[in-house]
Structure 1
Amino acid sequence: QDILTNLKEIQHTIINQIELYKPSIDVLKIAELHYSTLFKAAQDTILIIDRKSGIIIDANKKSEDLFELPSEDFVGLHASQLLIDDMSKSFKEKIFENIGNPTPIMVNVISHSGNIIPVEINVNEVQMGGQVLVQCIIRDISKRIETELKLMDSEIKYRHLFEDSPFCIFLMDPKGYIVDCNPAMEKIFGYSRDELIYKKFINLPIIHEDYLVEFVKRFKEELRDTDFPPIDIQIYNKNKDIVWITLQNSFVRIGKETFYQVICYDVTEQKKAEKELEKVLKLESIIARIISRFIGIKDFNQAIYDSLKDIAEFTNSRRAYFYIFNEKYSFIGKRIVWHAQILHPEILEPEILSLEDFPWLNKKLRNSVHLIIDDIKSLPVEAMRLEKFLETQKIQNCIIHSIKINDSLEGLIWFANFSDPFSWKEENFEPLGFFSDILKNAILREISKEDLRKSEELFHKEFDREYFYRELFVNDFNEIMKNLQTFVSQLADQKDLMDSITGKEILNNIKQQNVNGQQLLSVIQKLTKIEELSPSIKKVNLKECIDKAIHYIVSLYTNKKINIVIEVPGEDIYVKADEYLVDIFTNLLFSSLRYNQDQSIELKIIVFRSQQDEKKFVKIEFIDYRKVISDFEKEEILKMERKKDSKIREILLGFLLVERILDNYYGKIWVEGDSFVVLIPEAID
């Protein structure tokens, strides 16, 4: 009975204990469920190995990707059957000797297909179901190693660029301390690396005070993501020289730290070149303005004053003077002064200033184009008079440029009290040289204008005198012709004398000379008008002009029977000519009649159209059947030769008039057989 009682008590105790363990069992089941879920879903390969036998008893799905084997094939494999590229130890040995090591081990596993894969393995011992097991968590680190290698390569390249870059590069931490700089830093700034590392950049005497605010603004924490464009600033190097740099700053991350990266390079020479270019452009602008002032000049003195002002401002001079010595240049003020505080020109009568009063200056300027005096106190003893004069003018320093005209020293240009005596380089003398040359040429041009004006006045006087004498000659000649005509009329009334042969011959000769005189007078008058007036070409009826010429000739020779045959096309012909066309025909007819003693005279005029070089002309032939003037003589007339031959000379003026008129028409005249031939452009509608 006692035994039964004891057994019941034991049963009761066991049941109570079981009831107590039920929650723990449930928790354990839940934990196993969680572990199983994590085991299957893990992104890393997980192997469970029996500690005692080394047999793999479980593997998650990820192991298939790493070892290229189905997960069920892992179960039952011995851990030493997994291959690694370490010939000295197996996978199992590597694993078991690192149980409990908090640091992951790095090995290269070999997959089923032979691929070598770098991995990182965490090994720890676990208790499950009363068994001691080894858990291996294997992570594929091939991509991480690839990234690390690229990063390492990038860092090597960056370091190479950093060290060898011709640009200055330095890094600052967020507090503004320099943590690194490349060798180019010393070339630009003059400081060694040791003098800069761990120094606060803003405390170094480097940034020019004019750019300090802008520099600090670029490194404010709240503006970290702002893109600042490059800027040009001035810095002081270690020797306190001013250096121009172009600066570009940015934020860079190295590892887990952020730095300010500053890249800059020396642009001092570029700035100097830009300044020189700006100076050249400014100089060209000044020269262009000076040239424009002296073209079509209206106010010589104002042009000089404005030019003095331009050059003085370009050279930082406070005063400028212009002196001219020669009294013949009356169109220029003898002394023109520009002062920085005076807005209007001073055109003054000259002071008692003569180069003869300053022999030292006179000698210097006759041997040189310009003279620079940095300080009047440095002048030699022989220039004492010049020094006293400059003192009275309150001039401390000056540059004097000579104005030489035809190798004679005619004037001076002075620029005084410039701010920097040493700023006058050779290029500063260029505007002076240009100004001097322009001024000299302008003066010579004005003198030439004055000489030309005087010549024109003299010419007009002579022309008026010649015109007066010519008109006097014409009037007197007309009076003589009238008297001669009156005499002929009176002589014709003397019947006894006129009935004799001698009387008739005398009367005919007198009439002929009267005709000749009238024709000569007409030619002279028209030659003069043609020389003085411009031609007025228009459309002219040719037949009407020929008729007028014939009518005039017949009226001159009333004592002769003149028969002139004209062959003209039926329609009217027009030519490009003017009112002098009649004179061409008159003089050609007159040349044929003048020496023809016959009482009955026959001439022929033939008109027809012609074309030369695709241009239309009208051709007129004058045929003299008697050949009073031989073909040779006609040729000589047209060549204007044999001027001493009385027969030729008397009709030479008439042909000169013909030639002048035809030149205005772009026409021609020549001898063709027995005829004079005239060619005149036809007027086409």
Structure 2
Amino acid sequence: MSTNSDIELEIELNARFYFFNIIPEEGGNSANVYGIDITESRKAEKVINYLAKFPSENPNPILWVSKDSVLYANNAGKELFSVKKGSTIPNILDAFIKEVRTDKEFLEIEVEFDERIYLLNISKVKNQEYTSIQGIDISERKKAEKVLGDYSLRMEFLNHIIIAGNRASNIKSLLEEILNSTIELMNFDGGGIYLVDNVNFTAELVCSHNLTAEFLDKTKIIKINKIPYRNIFIEGEPLFIGDDPPFNTNHSQMSGFLSVASLPLFSKNTIIGSLNIGSNSQHNFSTEEKEMLKFVGKEIGTLVTKMQTEEALRDARNITDFYKDLVVHDINNIFSNISTSLELISLFQRKKEEKEKIPELMDIINEQIIRGSKLVSNIRNLSKISNSGINVKPIEAIQVVNDAIKFIQVSFPNLNINIQIESKFKKIFVQANEYLLDVFENILFNAVKYNDNPIIEIQIRISKDKEIGKSFLKIEFLDNGIGILDNRKERILSNVSEGKKRVKGMGIGLYTVNKIIKNYQGKILVEDRINGDPSKGSNFIILIPLGV
């Protein structure tokens, strides 16, 4: 052998690969030959080269791992798991990978990293001893699901209150229905409802469920100006006991509950009682639960006041029927649209070519959430108006119109909406209140929602008018939407009993508008944008008394 330098060779023999290192002895007459089988190493190298073809800009994390180390990680995988080629398998994945290797071919799990939620698909690579981990960021989907869950629970509470109002023949039976429904929906164990006697500064327990004899004996009638009752009945502050051990311990000795929620019941901004529920288990109330229970307290208070006279009881039953129809149709549609969008998002996240459709679906979900919020707002406003009427004062109308337009533009950012105002006035006052914004928002909302044109045109004409010696501000909303047939124009502005036959979707908003305008001593009319042709759009005309 003529060389004194080492020689390295790779040779294929009988479908196996070998690496040889030949080291010559001094003098060059002999050499030491060392060999090693590198077949598996070559296979691994081929796999790694294949993996390297994955685009590093892929936003979803991808890992391939052997029994004890990382073979490949794209950029998203490196950043998420803090690994690189050759790193040990992350602890959070180790148990799942072992499960796939020993028991399952495929595993799908949800994990949380840095306040983001990922869906991980862990599977064996066919004909290889490697495991694939592919992740999808589902944080937005989970947020949407949470929003849907919160709305679902709130609407379920509202529906139970509505059903209770429909069944009840008196205040006591109404409160018993509401108490039992609330305990069941919150998965709690007992509770009670107090009503306030403002003359004697006391509150009486009018109905209860699963309370201890000691608690009933000592708290059947309580002084509302004493702590902690003062906070609830005078200050109007809800009380949540679950994460305050000192108070919790003292309270549990008498009530028997470890966790308690006490909610003031409001009517006309006056506290008329409290709803109280308790659990035998430790329960830390989430922010969403607290807000939802506050909402329930306000709705119950309004309904209780309605039923304190025979006339209010009859009205409450009519409104209950209207709300039931509303919940069955509108709320179910909202939930169905959100649920369908979530399913499509989940499907599209797995298909790279479909991912560009996800933002559009998120817009649909956002639109439905806004629609649901508007629905709840309308219900609440109707309840307040029916309960206490409306106090009016001079309100500058042009600014309110502009605020309503901004609401519509924010609510429908992806639609081409052209809204024009024709007015000789920069400022003009009417006799109204804060509900005037709801009037304009509802009319504009329907003008956008019931419009199939690529460009939605809305013209707002503002002028003065006079009827029977009284001066009004006349506001016309002309749109190029689907229009309203003559035989339906009057019905969509009808009273509660007619409202059950409402035009689908429009009823609650326009019924609210009609109630508000009547309380202003004004008028609302529905005409065709082009006389005699409903298909060319509508013209909603509002007359509101002028203010000083």
Question: Which TM-score band applies after superposition, normalised by the shorter structure?
Answer: 0.3 to 0.5
Q: What TM-score, normalized to structure 2?
A: 0.39
What TM-score do the two structures reach when normalised by structure 1? 0.32
Q: Which has the larger radius of gyration?
A: 1
Structure showing greater relative contact order (alpha-carbon pairs closer than 8 Å, 6 or more residues apart): 2
